[in-house]
Amino acid sequence: MNTISNSTDSDSRNSLSGANSMKKDLKKAVYYFELSANQGHKDAQFSLGRCYTTGEGVKKDFKKAANYFELAANQGHEEAQFKIGVCYSSGKGVDKNVKKAKYFLDQAAKQGNLNAQKVLKQLK
């Protein structure tokens, strides 16, 4: 029984050190996403928006998330168009604006985003 207990304790310590390592990796990822996003890379802008939505590597901030989603959406990033459309339809991170929501959702829907098509139907 001691062997199992020691093994479990060791596994727990390894899991905790892995979690700390992952936090550092997420912060490093955010750092590089920011560098790329500031150079106009739409995938990095979208990824940063996702990080700010989930709180992975950064403190949750829906205004920043919406800003990055919109930057990527304006460059044609389909999933970002969907995300910012949802933000505008719900008022999360931005002022609620059904006209802008429909615009971005329509752009995503035209690229084949099924979720955008569903939300767009609900807004009409």
CA angle at 23 for the pair 92 and 93, rounded to the nearest 5°: 10
* pTM given for the model: 0.82
Using DSSP, state whether 17 is helix, strand or coil.
Answer: helix
**Using alpha carbons only, how large is the chain's radius of gyration in Å?**
19
Higher pLDDT pick, 12 / 118: 118
Give residue 16's pLDDT. Answer: 41
Residue 98 pLDDT > 60: yes
Six-digit token string for 42: 């739409």
Which CATH entry fits the domain spanning 2-123: 3.10.150.10, 1.10.10.10, 1.25.40.10, 3.30.930.10?
A: 1.25.40.10
User: Within 13 Å, how many C-alpha atoms sit on residue 36's CB side?
Assistant: 16
Per-residue pLDDT of 41-84, as tens digits, reads 999 999 999 999 999 999 999 999 999 999 999 999 999 999 99
